Structure 1
Amino acid sequence: MEERIMIVFIIMDDTGKKKGDSVLELKEAKFVSDGGESRVVIERYLDTFPFQYYLIVHNLEELPSALAGLLRTWFAEVAT
């Protein structure tokens, strides 16, 4: 926040589809070397998401209010 720039990744997540299709439920498998042996570790996708700031919007109608809340957060961060 030093440069007063906040990069936010916006995820449009339609939860009205099939169960298990939400980004909140996505998992990824990784192979981890453990003492010479490889094992599979399953983690939630968002636990290792490469962006520090992200916004998940489940309904397109919520997007304007979600962006307004994001701007309020940004102004609060910049002010401190």
Structure 2
Amino acid sequence: MKGTAKRGTLRASAPRDRASLGSRRRAGVLLHPSSLDGPDPIGDIGPAAHRFLHWLARAGFASWQMLPVGPVGEGNSPYSSR
């Protein structure tokens, strides 16, 4: 998914099929939202996520892949989500 920042808004678009990706190389990041800063012990998709997306765009990254997002399991671990 590619995020583009424009006048304080974020837009996301994804290709409809893998063939449209082409063979052009690009860089991305795998990061769970709980790794971001937030008001609670774990992060969320709030202001810190928006700052992170803006940073990714400025740094030339093309995608942010998130691990499965759901209610966290025991110990607030996203890896044991239900």
Normalised by the length of structure 2, the TM-score is 0.31
Normalised by the length of structure 1, the TM-score is 0.32
The structure with more radius of gyration: 1
Q: Which has the higher contact order (CA 8 A, sep 6+)?
A: 1
